[in-house]
Structure formats: structure tokens, C-alpha cells
A and B are shown apart, each in its own frame.
Chain A
Amino acid sequence: MIEIKKLKIKDYLIEDIEIIKGEKIGVFAREAEVRDKFLLSLAGINRNYDNCFFKKENLYDNKAYFQNRIYLDCQEKYLETLNFSKIADIINTKFKMKIDRAYLAKYIDALKIRGECEITSTYKYIFTYIGNTLINLGLAFSTGKNLIINNPTIHIDDEHKSDEEYIYNELKNYTKLIVLGINNLIQLKDLLNRVILFTDFNEVIVFNPKKDNLYIIDNCNIVNELYVFKCKDERLIIKEPPQETLKRLRRQKLNLKRISIYEIEKYL
């Protein structure tokens, strides 16, 4: 569906990635700017030099592609009302996009978003930070299009566990393509088919959380080619080494521990 070939984002070169229908892909980078730029290029908003394709056509400013996908950043404010009919009408008038009103109404009720906003005397809705994230996600789901969402769980903290679970299930059950610019990996545990990692060493790794493993290791200069991230305590996160290298590392009595990709944030 989407092909990326030798796309350059800052100091990173993304070699070859093919994204197929219905996949759930995460994009993780220590620098938010890298993640933002990658998502903007993938959404066709930022120009590329013939590096990103949708059905063999460059996807930059491509009408067919734009009609199939929606890009939004949950940090931004898109809506000033909770009236689902009004939302649907405005989106339809401005962007010629159909919204599933019944779904949106159900979503607003289920997550009790009314409790996350203040209504001014001029009937303007001012959402709390979490309210803004929730309504943005609701809007995205109700379009039924392929989704490219930046910061999907921003401001959803442990105090809102039920909201987090609801969003998780909605993401899991969504049948179209989802690309998420990840702000918090652990909240998306076991959801993603692939994670595109922008490492601290100017490399881009496409990681399959179900198959591939990461290791955390004491700082050393033995496996430079496997480095992924530098930890805050001077240790290193590395890709899974080949069996022989693994044995060699163990012989050298280096502390080596296998970790899930969803855990890496606590070490960074």
C-alpha cells in the first residue's frame, strides 16, 4: 500500500519499508522532531524526493492518497464542540469527509468526555488536555480512514486507566492502517505489528515486537553495530546479537538482560 525508499529525515536514512493494509505501526524516536518529520512525510504533507509512494505514485500532495488517510496530532486542538452532529456537518462542509455520527456519539458517552470540558457563556467548549486527546482520537476513529496519529496517548495517565483501556481496544479493533507517532510505548503494549525505531546512532530499525528482542547491556565497545539507544545509567540497549556473540558477551561477564521493546522508555 505504502512504500518508503531511501527517505532522509535529518541524519537518518530509511532504507526500504513497505506498509500494508490493516497494519498497526509505531514510530519511536528520542527526538520528537524526528518523529514529527517522518509522520509529516508519510502523511504526504512534507515533500519527499520521490521516496514515498502510494500505489506506485509519489504520495506528496497526492489527492487519491489524501482521500484515503487522515493525519492528526493529539496535542493540537481541532474541535470546539461536543455536538457530534455539528462536528460531522463542519467536517463534511470543510473537508468533504464523512463522519460516523452514531459512532462518535457512542464514543463521547462511553468516555464521558463531557466531564473533560468546560462550556463558556458563548457555548464554546474548552477541553482539558486529556479531553482534547480523547475527542481527537474519537474524531479519527469516526472517519473510518487509514490513520496517521501523532502523540496518540498524550496526557492519558494512570489516573485514567479505563480511558486508556477503551482507546487501546478501539485501536486494536480498528481494521484499517494505523501509524502512531508514539509518545508512550508501554501504553501500546502488544498492539503493534511493527515499530520503526530511530536509534541514538542515526540508524533506523524496523522492529517486530513479536519476533525480535532487545537487550540491555553494560557499556562496552564490543558490539558497536548493534547499538540502539544509550540509557540514562550509561548502559546500552542493543539489538539481539547472534548466538555466538551472545555467548561471547556472557563469557566476558557483562550484564546482559533481554527486554521488551515496550519497556525501553524506562531506561532512556
Chain B
Amino acid sequence: MKLKNIYNSSLFKLIMVVLLCLFAILIAVSLSEREEQINFVYLVYLLTSISIFTIGYSKMASIVTLGFGITRYETYRKFNISLLFIILYLFLFAIYYNLLYYLAYNKNIFDLGLLILLSLVVFFSGQLGMMLGNLNLNEYFSSVFIVIIIFVSILEIFVFNYKIYINFFLFFASIILIVINYALIKNIKIEKFI
């Protein structure tokens, strides 16, 4: 295989991006002066939730995708698989960050309960975005939902401490949304609800 081909291959680009990200996190932790800084992993999770919600919404509401031969079921299946991978990557990223933090400051900030909660927030946001996209709900109205989710998540991270209850709630709500989404993609008409 020629060097140029390796350089142009998408796998090579992907590996380089991952390595660059890991290096960037290392630099961020090394240069950080404040030990008590807000764990920016939480921020990454919340930003991912917003993105996932938007992607879920736009993918399911896209008549272009459907017109060009991608079925709703294919979109639903691929989206859910990608969602699980994203959560896995985020989890690995959080472990890496916490490891670096521990090495730098000799302080353990790893909170499994909170990471599970944030993973479920990402999953729930994706499912909700997909459901609202399936229902073709107005985008401005839909965005209110993600604002509420992010607001509640921030409260949960910094103010409240009911992680177990909220984790259970998010888990069951996500399961219900998966079933609702499946039922919707089997019985949908494109119409504006609001």
C-alpha cells in the first residue's frame, strides 16, 4: 500500500483525530492551574446531549433521506447503534480524563453514578429527539424540551443528589421511548402537528 493511500484513508484520519483529542485532553489537564475546576467531562456530556437530540430530530424528520431511499427503520437502527457507541466513547473519554486528573493532582474525582446519569441523559435526549422528529413537531417548540433536559441535568449535577432515582427514571423513560419510536416509524404520516 502506498504512503499516499494510507494518508488518504478514512481509518488513518479517524485514528489521527482520536490521538489528537487524547493529546489535547492531556495538555488541558497539564496546563490547568485550578484543582477545583468544574469537571469539563460533564460539559462534554451535556453538549453531546444537545447534538444528539438535534441529530435525532433532523434525521427522522428528513423527507430528503426518505426520498433518496433510506427507510425510517434503517435510520432508527443506525441511529440507536451510533448512540450506544457514542455513549461508550464518552465513558472511555471520562475514564481517561479522570485518570489524567488523578495523576496530575492525586485526587479521585471519578463518580460512576453521575457518569451513568449523564450517559442516560445522552440516550434519553437522542430518543426524545427522534420521537419529536417522527411526530414532525415544530423545531422551535421541540427545542424547549432539550432546554428543560439540560436545565434539570445541571441542577442534578450541582444542586440535587437523587442520582439513583433519576437514573431509574431515565432508564425506563428511554426504554418507553424506544418502543414508542418503533411504533411510530411503523405507523407514520408526515404532517405538521404544531
Q: Which residues of B contact A263 (CB under 8 A)?
A: none
Tell me whether A40 and B190 are in contact in the complex, defined as CB-CB below 8 angstroms, given that A71-B66, A76-B64, A95-B65 are known contacts.
yes
A63 close to B (CB within 8 Å): yes
Are A61 and B73 in contact (CB-based, < 8 A)? yes
CB-nearest residue of chain B to A71: B67
List residues of chain A with CB within 8 A of the CB of B63.
Answer: 45, 73, 76
What is the interface of chain B mostly: helix, strand, loop, or mixed?
A: helix
Interface size on A, residues (CB 8 A): 24
> A12: CB under 8 A from chain B?
no
Chain B residues within 8 Å of chain A by Cβ, number: 18
Q: Quick one: which of A63, A73, A78, A94 contacts B71, CB cutoff 8 A?
A: A63
Contact indicator B68/A97 (Cβ below 8 Å): yes
Query: Residues of B contacting A71 with CB < 8 Å?
Result: 66-67
Q: Are B186 and A61 in contact (CB under 8 A)?
A: yes
CB pair A70–B68 under 8 Å, yes or no, is yes
B34 part of interface (Cβ distance < 8 Å): no
Bitwise interface map of A from 66 to 84 toward B, beta carbon under 8 Å scored 1, else 0: 1101111100101000000
Evaluate contact between A67 and B69: CB separation under 8 angstroms. yes
> Could you tell me if A62 and B66 are in contact, using CB atoms closer than 8 angstroms?
no
Per-position contact with A for B56-74: 1 when CB-CB < 8 Å, else 0? 0000000111111111111
CB-defined A-B contacts under 8 Å, sample of 29 = A45-B63, A45-B66, A46-B189, A46-B190, A47-B186, A47-B187, A47-B189, A61-B71, A61-B72, A61-B73, A61-B185, A61-B186, A63-B71, A66-B66, A67-B69, A70-B68, A70-B69, A71-B67, A72-B67, A73-B67, A94-B65, A94-B68, A95-B65, A95-B68, A95-B69, A95-B70, A97-B68, A97-B69, A145-B69
7 A-B pairs besides A43-B67, A61-B72, A61-B186 with CB distance below 8 A are A47-B187, A61-B73, A63-B71, A66-B70, A76-B64, A95-B68, A96-B69
